[in-house]
Amino acid sequence: MSVNGFPLTGFTFGKVVIVGAGHVGAQCAARMLEANDAMEIVLVDVDEQRAIAQAADLDDLGFGLGSAPIVRAGSWEDVGDAHILVITAGRTRKPGETRYDLLDGTIAIMESICENIERVGFNGILVSISNPVDAVTDYMKRRLNLPRERCFGTGTALDTSRLARLIAWRLNVSRREVQAMCLGAHGEEIFVPVTHTYVGAVPILEYLAMHPADAKHFSLAEIVAENEAKGARIIAGKGSTEFGISGVVSNIVTTIIEDIRRMMTLTVELEGEYGIEGIPCGVPCILGQAGIELVMDIDLNPRERELFDEAVSSIRGTVERGRALMDGASS
């Protein structure tokens, strides 16, 4: 059996392996237990005792929820038949740092992870969370020689969720009525295509024209700036982000297992879309059982295209740094 040419063989359907049993990895497992879609959740960490302890604690959560998935600590051998492999490992961002400051340290960690993945083999779908997500996703894809359909990052999915919530709050409407997206790079280099932003079925500029009182106090630029700064504020206050991104990962896992074909803004290598070749970027994609089933090449107006190109230029520099590190490691 296959989906869009992706054979549903060579792995155990519904088995999710999470590499990294820290705050983010454990929260991802918790959200998956709540969703109750995975068949088995396995935590792998260089600190085996932490993975064992997290799994035991999560098992108690699963019992309380009445969830079916088995949750346990495992080893690299579990990657060999994993359906979905979630990479959360990486250096923690410190207050004052950008995601780009994490590149060298995170790539060094990814190299060790890739060596273990190569040793045991992998036939499933890899989801990368670690920052900077575009460069790290590119590194994993190239280092493991995976197609873009089966190796992608969480991209701007969290930014998109934050954006829709902020717009809804400013306009005093339900979050469910706001259709919006962030493109570009997670965090520092996002941009919002206004022509693809809606309240219900109404374009947001038209909605604001119909509601002049709301328009007086509405600034999309302020919302985008607040969106960009939110992750840094969370890290300054508590040392890490974990809940928001774990919700994104759980949605990804559910979408793949249930074959929902949901639109999400994920990091995927562009192959001619938007006129770009060979650079990963956060763009709208259709996600399903085969992984990335469609990269949506949406129309952008001239100003949006300019902002998109600026984001890609920034991503390109970081990606090229990551590729140089990979070339240095292999020489």
Active site members? 186
* Residue 159 in tokens: 């930014």
Greatest Cα pair distance, the chain, in angstroms, is 62
Whole-number Å distance between alpha carbons of 79 and 77: 5
**Residues in Cβ contact with 39 at an 8 Å cutoff, skipping those fewer than 6 apart:** 12, 13, 14, 15, 68, 69, 70
C-alpha distances in angstroms, 294 versus 210, 238, 264, 298?
Answer: 35, 37, 11, 12
Burial 256-292 (b: 16+ CB within 10 A, else e): bbeeeeebbbbbbbbeebbebeebbbbbbbbbbbbbb
* Residue 63 in tokens: 């019992």
